[in-house]
């Protein structure tokens, strides 16, 4: 196991929700990362953000780890959920709420409903 792979595994194992993204939750560096971080922040989800731009080994390593070619990547309770398009679809369909409920992740249900109302 490479150092990057071990670091990724440790991060995913030790945090209920992790977003591997370009930039940080408070300062996203790409539109797709900004969208997913924005949804999580608006819904009040406590999540770890990993800035892949800060470490090339992590940037490539997360793609290899998930066998998914793009960033951002969201993990919930150790499971890869998806990237921006998948998270957007899950948010609008209510699937993300269900995933959080099933995994005991705290979030603002009213905020989630407001996102759907605004995009319905």
pLDDT tens sequence across 55-78: 999 999 999 999 999 999 999 999
In this prediction, residue 70 carries a pLDDT of: 96
Q: Which two tokens stand for residue 40?
A: 């999580």
DSSP 49: E
User: Of the candidates 54, 62, 92, 115, which has an alpha carbon nearest to the alpha carbon of residue 72?
Assistant: 62
Tell me if the domain spanning 3-118 has CATH number 3.40.50.1000.
no
What does pTM read for this prediction? 0.96
| Chain Cα centroid distance, residue 34 | 11
- The residues of the chain scoring below 70 in pLDDT are 1
Q: Is 30 annotated as a binding residue?
A: yes
- Segments making up each domain of the chain, as ranges: 3-118
């Amino acid at each position: 196991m490479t150092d990057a792979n071990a670091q990724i595994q440790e991060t995913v194992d030790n945090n209920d929700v992790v977003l591997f993204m370009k930039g940080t939750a408070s300062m996203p560096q790409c539109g797709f990362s900004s969208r997913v971080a924005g949804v999580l922040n608006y819904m009040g989800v406590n999540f770890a953000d990993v800035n892949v731009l800060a470490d090339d080994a992590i940037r490539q390593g997360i793609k290899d780890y998930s066998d998914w070619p793009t960033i951002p990547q969201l993990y919930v309770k150790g499971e890869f959920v998806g990237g921006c398009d998948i998270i957007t679809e899950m948010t609008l369909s209510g699937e993300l709420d269900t995933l959080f409920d099933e995994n005991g992740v705290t979030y603002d249900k009213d905020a989630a409903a407001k996102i759907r109302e605004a995009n319905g």
